[in-house]
Structure 1
Amino acid sequence: MEKTWLAHYPEEVPSSFAYPKENLASFLVHSAQRFPDNPAIWFFGHTMSYRELLDACCRFANAVRALPLVKGERLAIMLPNCPQAVIAYYGALLAGLVVVQNNPMYTERELKHQLQDCGAKALVTLDELCPKVEHIRHETDLQHVIVTSMRDYLPSGTPLAQSPSLTEQNGVILWQILLRQGASELPRIEIDAAEDIALIQYTGGTTGVAKGAMLTHLNLVANTIQSALWSYKLRDGQERYLGALPFFHVFGMTVLMNQAMYKAGMLILVPRFQAKDVLRFIHEFKPTVFPGTPTMYIALMNHPDVGQYDLSSIEICVSGAAPLPLEVQAQFERLTGGKLVEGYGLTEASPITHANNFWGERKNGSIGIPFPDTEARIVDENGNDVAAGEIGELVVRGPQVMKGYWNKPAETASVLRDGWLFTGDIGKMDENGFFYIVDRKKDVIIAGGYNIYPREIEEILYEHPAVAEAAVVGVTDSYRGQTVKAFIQLKPGQQVTAEEMDAWCRANLAAYKVPRAYEFRESLPKSAVGKILRRELTEESKQNA
Structure 2
Amino acid sequence: MSNAVQNVWKHADSTPHAIALRVGKDEWSYAETRACIMRAATFLRARGARKGGRVLIVLPTSPEFVWTYYGALSLGAVAVTVNTMSAPREIEYFIRDAECDIAVGYEGSETALLPAVAATGRPCSILSPGAFSTAEVGERSSTGSYTDLPGDEPAVLLYTSGTTGSPKGAVLTHDNLLACAKSQSEVQAIGPDDRMGTALPLFHVFGQASVMSSVHHVGASLSLLRPFSGAGMIEMAAAHELTAMAGVPTMWNEMLHAETDVTAEQLGALRLCVSGGATLPLAVAAAFRERFGAQVMDGYGLSETTGTASGRRQGAPPKEGSVGSAMPGCTIAIFGPDHQPVADGVVGEVAIDGPVVMREYWNRPDATADVRAGSWFLTGDLGRMDADGDLWIVGRTKDLIIRGGYNVYPREVEEVLYSHPDVLEAAVIGVPDERLGEEIAAVVVTQPGRHVDLAALRAWLEERLSTYKVPRIYHLCDELPKGSTGKILKRALDPDAVIKDGVRVTQSR
TMscore range, shorter length: 0.7 to 0.9
Deviation at 1:63, TM superposition (A): 3.3
- Could you tell me whether the CA contact under 8 Å between 1:353 and 1:374 is conserved in 2? yes
Deviation at 1:255, TM superposition (A): 2.6
- Could you tell me whether the CA contact under 8 Å between 1:197 and 1:217 is conserved in 2? yes
Residues 106-255 of structure 1: pairs in structure 2 closer than 5 A? 106-140=86-120, 142-143=122-123, 145-150=124-129, 184-193=142-151, 195-204=152-161, 206-232=163-189, 234-236=190-192, 238-255=193-210
Alignment CA distance shift 1:432-1:342 (3 Å): same
Counterparts of 1:217 and 1:74, CA distance in 2: 14
1:365 matches 2:321:
yes
Counterparts of 2:305 and 2:494, CA distance in 1: 35
1:383 matches 2:339:
yes
Q: Which residue of 2 aligns with 1:268?
A: 223
Q: 1:475 aligns with which of 436, 439, 443?
A: 443
Alignment CA distance shift 1:60-1:474 (3 Å): farther
Q: Which residue of 1 aligns with 2:5?
A: 25
- Could you tell me whether the CA contact under 8 Å between 2:54 and 2:80 is conserved in 1? yes
Counterparts of 1:108 and 1:404, CA distance in 2: 26
Q: TM-score, normalised by structure 1?
A: 0.73
Q: What's the CA shift string for 1:272-306, capped at 9, x where partnerless? A: 11122212211211111101111111111111335
Alignment CA distance shift 1:513-1:351 (3 Å): closer
Counterparts of 1:434 and 1:386, CA distance in 2: 14
Letter matched to residue 228 of structure 2: F
Q: What's the CA shift string for 1:113-149, capped at 9, x where partnerless? A: 2122111111221121233222121322522x22222
Letter matched to residue 443 of structure 2: V
Q: Which residue of 2 aligns with 1:491?
A: none
Counterparts of 1:65 and 1:154, CA distance in 2: 18
Q: Which residue of 2 aligns with 1:526?
A: none
Alignment CA distance shift 1:149-1:357 (3 Å): same
Alignment CA distance shift 1:441-1:272 (3 Å): farther
Q: 1:60 aligns with which of 19, 33, 40?
A: 40
Aligned residue for 2:309, secondary structure, equals strand
Unmatched runs of 5 consecutive residues or more in structure 1: 1-20, 160-175, 455-472, 480-504, 522-533
Aligned residue for 1:130, secondary structure, equals coil
- Could you tell me whether the CA contact under 8 Å between 2:384 and 2:391 is conserved in 1? yes
Q: Which residue of 1 aligns with 2:69?
A: 89
Residues 305-454 of structure 1: pairs in structure 2 closer than 5 A? 305-306=260-261, 310-443=266-399
Q: Which residue of 2 aligns with 1:502?
A: none
Deviation at 1:408, TM superposition (A): 0.7
Deviation at 1:474, TM superposition (A): 8.2
- Could you tell me whether the CA contact under 8 Å between 2:250 and 2:487 is conserved in 1? no
Alignment CA distance shift 1:190-1:22 (3 Å): closer
Aligned residue for 2:96, secondary structure, equals helix
Letter matched to residue 352 of structure 2: V
Aligned residue for 1:412, secondary structure, equals helix
1:287 matches 2:242:
yes
Deviation at 1:319, TM superposition (A): 0.8
Counterparts of 2:111 and 2:296, CA distance in 1: 41
Letter matched to residue 330 of structure 1: A
Letter matched to residue 339 of structure 1: Q
- Could you tell me whether the CA contact under 8 Å between 1:203 and 1:347 is conserved in 2? yes
- Could you tell me whether the CA contact under 8 Å between 1:127 and 1:148 is conserved in 2? yes
Deviation at 1:153, TM superposition (A): 8.4
- Could you tell me whether the CA contact under 8 Å between 1:45 and 1:154 is conserved in 2? no
Letter matched to residue 284 of structure 1: A
Letter matched to residue 224 of structure 1: A
Alignment CA distance shift 1:306-1:295 (3 Å): farther
Letter matched to residue 201 of structure 1: L
Letter matched to residue 326 of structure 2: P
Letter matched to residue 292 of structure 1: G
Deviation at 1:104, TM superposition (A): 0.9
Counterparts of 1:295 and 1:77, CA distance in 2: 26
Deviation at 1:96, TM superposition (A): 0.5
Deviation at 1:68, TM superposition (A): 3.5
Aligned residue for 2:111, secondary structure, equals helix
Q: Which residue of 1 aligns with 2:54?
A: 74
Deviation at 1:328, TM superposition (A): 1.4
Aligned residue for 2:171, secondary structure, equals strand
Aligned residues: 435
Alignment CA distance shift 1:354-1:365 (3 Å): same
Counterparts of 2:328 and 2:505, CA distance in 1: 39
Letter matched to residue 192 of structure 1: P
Deviation at 1:353, TM superposition (A): 0.4
Q: Which residue of 2 aligns with 1:500?
A: none
Counterparts of 1:42 and 1:281, CA distance in 2: 10
- Could you tell me whether the CA contact under 8 Å between 2:235 and 2:262 is conserved in 1? no
Q: What's the CA shift string for 1:157-179, capped at 9, x where partnerless? A: xx9xxxxxxxxxxxxxxxx7xx7
- Could you tell me whether the CA contact under 8 Å between 1:311 and 1:335 is conserved in 2? no
Counterparts of 2:81 and 2:363, CA distance in 1: 17
Q: What's the CA shift string for 1:86-124, capped at 9, x where partnerless? A: 000111111110001111111212222212211111122
- Could you tell me whether the CA contact under 8 Å between 1:206 and 1:442 is conserved in 2? no
- Could you tell me whether the CA contact under 8 Å between 1:475 and 1:538 is conserved in 2? no
Q: TM-score, normalised by structure 2?
A: 0.77
Letter matched to residue 149 of structure 2: I
- Could you tell me whether the CA contact under 8 Å between 2:238 and 2:262 is conserved in 1? no
Please provide the CA RMSD for this pair.
Answer: 3.5
Counterparts of 1:519 and 1:385, CA distance in 2: 33
Q: What's the CA shift string for 1:382-410, capped at 9, x where partnerless? A: 11111111111111100000001001110
Aligned-pair identity in percent equals 29
Counterparts of 2:176 and 2:353, CA distance in 1: 12
- Could you tell me whether the CA contact under 8 Å between 2:185 and 2:214 is conserved in 1? yes
Deviation at 1:362, TM superposition (A): 2.3
Counterparts of 1:224 and 1:429, CA distance in 2: 25
- Could you tell me whether the CA contact under 8 Å between 1:58 and 1:185 is conserved in 2? no
Letter matched to residue 373 of structure 1: G
Counterparts of 2:59 and 2:51, CA distance in 1: 22
Counterparts of 1:392 and 1:514, CA distance in 2: 21
Counterparts of 1:189 and 1:38, CA distance in 2: 24
Unmatched runs of 5 consecutive residues or more in structure 2: 401-409, 415-426, 430-440, 448-480
**Structure possessing the higher relative contact order (Cα contacts under 8 Å, 6 or more residues apart):** 1
Letter matched to residue 252 of structure 1: G
- Could you tell me whether the CA contact under 8 Å between 2:309 and 2:330 is conserved in 1? yes
Letter matched to residue 364 of structure 2: K
Counterparts of 2:505 and 2:181, CA distance in 1: 39
